[in-house]
């Protein structure tokens, strides 16, 4: 990198400290049986749109809860998402409807099989490795904000 480019990049970071980073989102503690989840909340159109894009790593207990404003058949995709993920679609009470595995940087749709209120994204295989299947409940969901 040339000195001029390095100087410009450094100046931008100093002038705009959060530049190039995703905003800090609120975190909600959820439980899947005995398994604790620290779920970042994506409850607005902007936060749902960016989701986990551009992240390179995520702690095993970390995830993102997408809160939708209405119960409907929702779909997820992986454009600009660098991590392989699994998504569990949840009903209004937090029961798992279905789980889909998603590969990074793809535009494939991964949809709920019936109308859902939430989607919980975790690292690839997280639900399967813990035996979490359709019908089981994620608790703590009642403390999630309303989707906008």
pLDDT tens profile 15-49: 344 334 455 899 999 999 999 999 999 999 999 99
Res. 147: pLDDT tops 70: yes
Residues ≥6 apart with Cβ < 8 Å to 29: 36, 37, 38, 39, 140
Max CA separation in the chain (angstroms)? 57
87, 63 Cβ separation under 8 angstroms: no
**CATH code reported for the domain at 22-143:** 2.60.120.1140
pLDDT of 10 > 50? The answer is no
Q: Domain limits of the chain?
A: 22-143
pLDDT at site 50: 92
Q: Are 139 and 30 in contact (CB under 8 A)?
A: yes
Contact 90, 138 (CB under 8 A): yes
The kind and range of the H/E element at 13 are helix 3-15
Give the pLDDT of residue 22: 52
| Residue 121 near residue 87, CB atoms below 8 Å | yes
Q: Confirm if 99 and 87 have CB atoms less than 8 A apart.
A: yes
Taking the model in full, what pTM does it have? 0.84
pLDDT for 24: 84
The string of pLDDT tens digits covering residues 82-119 is 999 999 999 999 999 999 999 999 999 999 999 999 99
Tokens of 144: 């999630």
**Phi and psi angles of residue 57, each rounded to the nearest 5 degrees, phi first:** -145, 155
Positive or negative CA dihedral for 12, 17, 18, 20? positive
Query: Is residue 4 pLDDT above 60, yes or no?
Result: no
């Amino acid at each position: 990198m040339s000195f001029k480019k390095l100087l410009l990049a450094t100046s931008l970071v100093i002038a705009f400290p959060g530049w190039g980073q995703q905003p800090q989102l609120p975190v909600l503690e959820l439980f899947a049986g005995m398994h604790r989840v620290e779920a970042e909340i994506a409850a607005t159109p902007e936060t749902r749109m960016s989701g986990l894009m551009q992240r390179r790593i995520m702690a095993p207990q970390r995830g993102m809860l997408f809160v939708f404003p209405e119960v409907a058949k929702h779909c997820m995709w992986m454009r600009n998402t660098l991590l392989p993920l699994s998504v569990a679609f949840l009903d209004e009470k937090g029961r798992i409807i279905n789980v889909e595995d998603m590969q990074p940087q793809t535009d494939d749709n991964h949809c709920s099989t019936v109308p859902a209120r939430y989607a919980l994204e975790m690292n690839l295989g997280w639900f399967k490795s813990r035996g979490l299947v359709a019908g089981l409940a994620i608790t703590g969901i009642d403390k999630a904000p309303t989707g906008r």
